[in-house]
Chains A and B, each alone.
Chain A
Amino acid sequence: GENVEQHPSTLSVQEGDSAVIKCTYSDSASNYFPWYKQELGKRPQLIIDIRSNVGEKKDQRIAVTLNKTAKHFSLHITETQPEDSAVYFCAASHSGGGADGLTFGKGTHLIIQP
């Protein structure tokens, strides 16, 4: 099955600086890569996703890049703000016949220092 590795487990940055979280996946058939943000005590919520036919996607201060050859994708947050503090999860899945859900990384706790 799919295996997703996520680094770092904790990331502390100064407010206004950029943050980068990296993930690798093992299954070359995976073609969908979402990123979820989870605030303390809340449910995970999708912030951005990318499909394997695209190399980069941007939404305001958030961007995701995908390198299919290296099986690597990353989340980039620019001009970080206090409300960006949360745990971020990457995930991977493929649209095979089973729709067998998302395989998640173990999460990155992003801390924005004032």
Chain B
Amino acid sequence: NAGVTQTPKFRVLKTGQSMTLLCAQDMNHEYMYWYRQDPGMGLRLIHYSVGEGTTAKGEVPDGYNVSRLKKQNFLLGLESAAPSQTSVYFCASSYGSGNTEAFFGQGTRLTVV
């Protein structure tokens, strides 16, 4: 039981490049989330999904897209990376709605130069 796994752990991108971050969970959770963490800003919700085939915008969705084609996977895409997207990205999943524990992945440190 690996929990929540993110790929890759580190990445450096040039401005304008694209990439996809993969989140996989083996806990059969319905809900999945992508957060970004910046110094002094806490964790801010980018996009989330309440089940396979669904996605919704969070607090800071601009510049990102997501897909949930399979229940266990939640992909975060950057179509044209910008330096402002330099951050640590965390994926999380939870069994139920907003009042159940969220389990986090180990994070992806992304630098856009």
Contacts and interface: CB of A to CB of B under 8 A. Distances in A.
Interface of A: 1, 6, 9, 31-32, 34, 42-46, 49, 51, 89, 93-96, 98-107
Given A94-B99, A98-B56, A89 B31 contact: no
A49 B50 CA distance: 21
Contacts of A32: 98-100
Contacts of B87: none
B22 interface: no
Contacts of B101: 34, 46, 49
Nearest to B57: A100
A107 B41 CA distance: 8
B77 interface: no
Given A43-B90, A44-B90, A99-B48, A104 B99 contact: no
B98 A106 contact: no
A100 B45 contact: yes
A100 B48 contact: yes
B43 interface: yes
23 contacts: A6-B42, A32-B98, A32-B99, A34-B101, A43-B104, A44-B43, A44-B90, A51-B99, A89-B42, A89-B43, A93-B98, A93-B99, A95-B98, A95-B99, A96-B97, A99-B50, A101-B33, A101-B48, A101-B102, A102-B33, A104-B42, A105-B42, A107-B42
A109 B102 CA distance: 21
B41 A106 contact: yes
B104 A44 contact: yes
Main secondary structure of the interface of A (DSSP, over half): loop
A12 to B, nearest CB: 17
Given A101-B58, A103-B45, 18 more contacts: A1-B59, A34-B101, A43-B106, A44-B90, A93-B98, A94-B99, A95-B97, A99-B48, A99-B98, A100-B58, A101-B33, A101-B45, A101-B102, A102-B33, A102-B102, A104-B44, A106-B41, A106-B42
